[in-house]
Amino acid sequence: MNPMFYMTPGSCSTGIHILLETLELPFEVTVLNLPAGDHRRPEYLALNPKGTIPALRLSDGRVLTEFQAIAYWLARQHPRARLLPDDPLQAASAIELMEHVVGSVHGQGYTRVFTPDNYLPPGLDAAARSAGRDAIQARGREMVGEAFAIVEARLPEAGFALGADFSIADAALFYVEFWADKIGLALPPRCAAHYRRVRARPVVQRVLSEEGYR
């Protein structure tokens, strides 16, 4: 039985999709429609009680969740692909960057941009909700920019996030750069160069095409 990949096009799961395609692994896909609440259906919660994406059900039936965990497992299972550096400090740097991307750029900044209602207190009238939503989204954009500034300071001028080899950290960084492109948020110079470099990879172009982006 091939692994089953639970994903939503254009979401954080795009980064894992890129890794799976980079490794040329056979896998099956279940697309979850988040606005329709697919991630809250009993059959999915039985696999992943957190109701999050991405998720990867392995061939033996076990299920991995969380971007960092899935990316780490894929890299360790396929060391010849060099998706995780051999050097322990470099490997830790990859995990550190992924955590910053998923936890801060995405988890703190973009969640305010995309789901501002989750940050509103209950009981507001329509006018207050509209004003509050605008303020939350504006703050979210600021937080994304602040988080990207931290990434910018550590990115090399050429190559990928950790040097010459494409890594799991690049897959994570790409999806938040892709979101910046989608919402018209300017990236700092090195992040913008990194985004163009990763997006130019044939496997990334293929993934974006498969997910409905041209």
pLDDT in tens, 162-184: 989 999 999 999 999 999 999 99
pLDDT reading at 104 higher than 80: yes
- Banded model confidence at residue 1, pLDDT cuts 50, 70, 90: confident
C-alpha 173, offset from chain centre:
7
Predicted confidence at residue 101, as pLDDT, reads: 97
pLDDT reading at 214 higher than 80: no
Structure tokens at 100: 């910053």
Domains along the chain with CATH numbers: 4-81 (3.40.30.10), 88-201 (1.20.1050.10)
Q: What is the largest CA-CA distance in the chain?
A: 57
Give the β-pairing of 4-7 and 28-31: parallel
pLDDT in tens, 27-61: 999 999 999 999 999 999 999 999 999 999 999 99
